[in-house]
Chains A and B, each alone.
Chain A
């Protein structure tokens, strides 16, 4: 027997596609070639396989070996093909029964010593395996909990090439994935009770978290903007199961997690301001999810917004508009989900001290500075809160909020929203389309007058009008109110964006 086949999967976007590995071993000058559109790490796979086989006590045939990864048109990236190629090679050389490879799809990287290692995208691979009708998936033990998230697929959690061969030969029972150790330990989250004063910014944080609204924190340096934003994860509502699966899938493909089971928390991504447009939204020569996708169902925090390159910020337009990123690469289109809450911090002016005697900026400088931010982003901010310098008394005083209380409020209001949008793809008020505003965010007569007054005084733009209603809806939900009252509306107006303030003043 000189030909053997194994089934594995290649990551494509955030899904996977079935790849058939064929290994042909025949008499000739000893050589090992891998064909089928693999990248550098696939070519390097030969060295790992050779060493792993020999170090595991198997024979590496001194023949002419050709491995083919089909379909050839699909670009194959990463070391996850190692194990499948090695198994097919062993089968072609008669060291593993050929028919055993029909029962298992195989996915994993090999070390030189013959251990198997987890790779990016295990969940996507497991989902692909079930879709492709595989009965079982052989994966590294460290990634097995992630693979086991998929129902209806038997998982063999293996630690080494020898163990793989033993399973394939039927010598041992396929080892089950390790049990989840209850609650994932994870890092403990920073708590809001570290923050002194700042009642309004914290309130804005709670409203934003409750409704999934975008939030802009504006204020001089050192007032605690970064501190506040970093505490957002501690009050966000828990992930629903389908959301957690999506987050796990994306984070696994991006290499942020390697098999630790289901994601437990909404992510907060805070890329450095030097990040490129493709780092932010994804893409590159072998497309990977960008920060916006890693922030899917969570928060994208852009600290010091004005420091980001204009091109990077422009690139956010599509994900903010569509909730996803479409990357087109050599005739293939990858779609990355990117529905996130945008939180940003900024100084009010170039020197950061606007409004205090320390400020040395001219009105013109401030205008230019703000104009740089405008365009794609400021338009999208649902809430703006000014973070003033806390007073000495506030800094010395007690903290006024704890994350546990805030989290409870947020969760309660989310439950109301979930019920409201039951049966639709909408999950929170921020996603409410304008046509539903009339149904869910109606105002009484006083409310209408108040809103009209704000509009007439140029406190609001036409677009801002709808934003205010969504935010007011969330504030009413936090208060447990059925209808939006005037005081909810006024609070929403307090957090309105008035980037136009300077221009309008003219």
Chain B
């Protein structure tokens, strides 16, 4: 599992102890976080953190911490097949160290190579975070997937949270291109979450796979609510560019964008229809000056500077298709999503249905679970 590296013994005792402390205090942090901002809390030293959140239980927590056995923590990682990488390690991602609240340990499932590639020189190997609504539209999923595919094809790791909707679509896209992708989880890195994304988890962490799943919390840890925004700071921290694809107003992905901006990283957003609630957040980001991202090329331009990568001129929609199929593809691109609306006349419905299926087989369209078709950006 650990890609040939020497087990979990990499994390130092102090960092493992810090992780243990956070896990011990997780329930109390949950209660305290309405009073104090999370980044503030996570930036506190051990003693200050105990004093801040443990209250009357402080001495019990201190006793628990004193009883901590690093060997047991290493054994637990080993048993869960996780590699533990701590801040003291030269292989720790350099960008994450920029924040005041860098996680002490990153627990890694899968191939740690793509995470380790983010160590050292800041500009050497940038990654892109793609985040967005869990309750996404088919269009949003398709755009996220295409971004993931394009970035991974260019060798750029795609960082996200493996959540429903945009996150999972972006990471699935990266896998389609066989490229690296990093999923940051709120709970233990050995627990696929959400559960229905188990298959995606397995594809990311699978043997020989290019990706990994990362968490700051110990193996088996069940996340509290605060763990999700805390996870978002790792996503923003790892990436040189954060792109928001669909986010409703006040969505969690806007927090990630804020955190990224706070770190001085570039924030991009994919524009959406003004009438779609899921597009409101991303459109608002654009209005506030976020960079416009329409495809993977534009994301790469933002990340590496214009012209730093090989540019393929965008091919016109349905290039090379016979006119019959191109017309149907254009109708879908223009918003018709079922045979009944693609056809302009009832007599054409049958032919339209066949053309939609042909386009699907050719990889130009995808049919979702409600039978609606979306264009797959090429």
Residue B3 CB within 8 A of the other chain: no
CA distance A182 to B363 in the complex (A): 57
CA distance A390 to B338 in the complex (A): 11
Residue of A nearest to B142 (CB): A505
Residue A35 CB within 8 A of the other chain: no
Q: Which of B47-55, B230-238, B295-303, B348-356 lies at the binding interface?
A: B348-356
Task: Assess whether B341 is in contact with A348, with CB atoms less than 8 Å apart.
Answer: no
Task: Assess whether B350 is in contact with A370, with CB atoms less than 8 Å apart.
Answer: no
Residue B154 CB within 8 A of the other chain: no
Interface size on B, as a range, is 35 or more
Residue B335 CB within 8 A of the other chain: no
Contacts of B197 in A (CB 8 A): 506
CA distance A388 to B346 in the complex (A): 15
Residue B360 CB within 8 A of the other chain: yes
Residue B361 CB within 8 A of the other chain: yes
Contact partner, A363, options B165, B340, B346, B361, Cβ 8 Å: B165
Contacts of B337 in A (CB 8 A): 355
Q: How many residues of A contact B (CB 8 A)?
A: 42
Task: Assess whether A453 is in contact with B361, with CB atoms less than 8 Å apart.
Answer: yes
Residue A354 CB within 8 A of the other chain: yes
Task: Assess whether A200 is in contact with B168, with CB atoms less than 8 Å apart.
Answer: no
Asked, given contacts A400-B346, A454-B361, A505-B168, whether A370 binds B340 with beta carbons under 8 Å apart, the answer is no
Contacts of A200 in B (CB 8 A): 339-340, 349-350, 353
CA distance A203 to B363 in the complex (A): 25
Residue A394 CB within 8 A of the other chain: yes
CA distance A502 to B169 in the complex (A): 11
Task: Assess whether A506 is in contact with B168, with CB atoms less than 8 Å apart.
Answer: yes
Contacts of A400 in B (CB 8 A): 346
Task: Assess whether A506 is in contact with B277, with CB atoms less than 8 Å apart.
Answer: no
Residue of A nearest to B164 (CB): A363
The smallest C-beta distance from B164 to any residue of chain A, in angstroms, reads 4
Task: Assess whether A501 is in contact with B369, with CB atoms less than 8 Å apart.
Answer: yes
CA distance A388 to B172 in the complex (A): 28
Residue of B nearest to A354 (CB): B370
Residue A431 CB within 8 A of the other chain: no
Residue A491 CB within 8 A of the other chain: yes
Residue B36 CB within 8 A of the other chain: no
Residue B138 CB within 8 A of the other chain: yes
Task: Assess whether B368 is in contact with A501, with CB atoms less than 8 Å apart.
Answer: yes
Contacts of A457 in B (CB 8 A): 360-361, 363
Residue A28 CB within 8 A of the other chain: no
CA distance A457 to B367 in the complex (A): 12
CA distance A355 to B374 in the complex (A): 11
Residue B225 CB within 8 A of the other chain: no
- Which A residues between 486 and 506 are near B, CB-CB below 8 angstroms? 487, 490-491, 493-494, 498-499, 501-503, 505-506
Residue B220 CB within 8 A of the other chain: no
CA distance A370 to B357 in the complex (A): 23
Residue B149 CB within 8 A of the other chain: no
Contact partner, A362, options B135, B350, B363, B369, Cβ 8 Å: B135
Contacts of A493 in B (CB 8 A): 357, 361
Task: Assess whether B353 is in contact with A494, with CB atoms less than 8 Å apart.
Answer: yes
Task: Assess whether B354 is in contact with A364, with CB atoms less than 8 Å apart.
Answer: no
Contact partner, A391, options B141, B341, B356, B370, Cβ 8 Å: B341
Contacts of B12 in A (CB 8 A): none
Residue of B nearest to A371 (CB): B196
Residue B316 CB within 8 A of the other chain: no
Task: Assess whether B196 is in contact with A364, with CB atoms less than 8 Å apart.
Answer: yes
Asked, given contacts A400-B346, A505-B168, whether A490 binds B277 with beta carbons under 8 Å apart, the answer is no
Residue A357 CB within 8 A of the other chain: yes
Residue A397 CB within 8 A of the other chain: yes
The smallest C-beta distance from A223 to any residue of chain B, in angstroms, reads 11
**What are the interface flags for B325-338 relative to A under an 8 Å C-beta threshold, 1 for contact and 0 otherwise?**
00000000000011
Contact partner, B277, options A349, A357, A499, Cβ 8 Å: A357
Contact partner, B360, options A203, A397, A459, Cβ 8 Å: A459
Residue B194 CB within 8 A of the other chain: yes
Task: Assess whether B340 is in contact with A388, with CB atoms less than 8 Å apart.
Answer: yes
CA distance A187 to B354 in the complex (A): 37
Task: Assess whether A505 is in contact with B367, with CB atoms less than 8 Å apart.
Answer: no
Task: Assess whether B194 is in contact with A218, with CB atoms less than 8 Å apart.
Answer: no
Asked, given contacts A386-B370, A388-B371, A503-B196, whether A494 binds B361 with beta carbons under 8 Å apart, the answer is no
CA distance A27 to B18 in the complex (A): 101
- Which A residues between 342 and 392 are near B, CB-CB below 8 angstroms? 348-349, 354-355, 357, 362-364, 366-368, 370, 386, 388, 390-391
The smallest C-beta distance from B377 to any residue of chain A, in angstroms, reads 15
CA distance A503 to B362 in the complex (A): 21
Task: Assess whether A199 is in contact with B340, with CB atoms less than 8 Å apart.
Answer: yes
**What are the interface flags for A203-230 relative to B under an 8 Å C-beta threshold, 1 for contact and 0 otherwise?**
1000000000000001100000000000
5 A-B pairs with CB atoms under 8 Å apart are A218-B370, A348-B371, A388-B340, A457-B360, A457-B361
For the A-B complex with A363-B165, A364-B196 known, give 14 more contacts whose Cβ atoms are closer than 8 Å. Answer: A197-B340, A203-B350, A218-B370, A218-B371, A355-B368, A362-B164, A363-B135, A491-B354, A493-B357, A494-B353, A503-B196, A505-B141, A505-B172, A506-B172
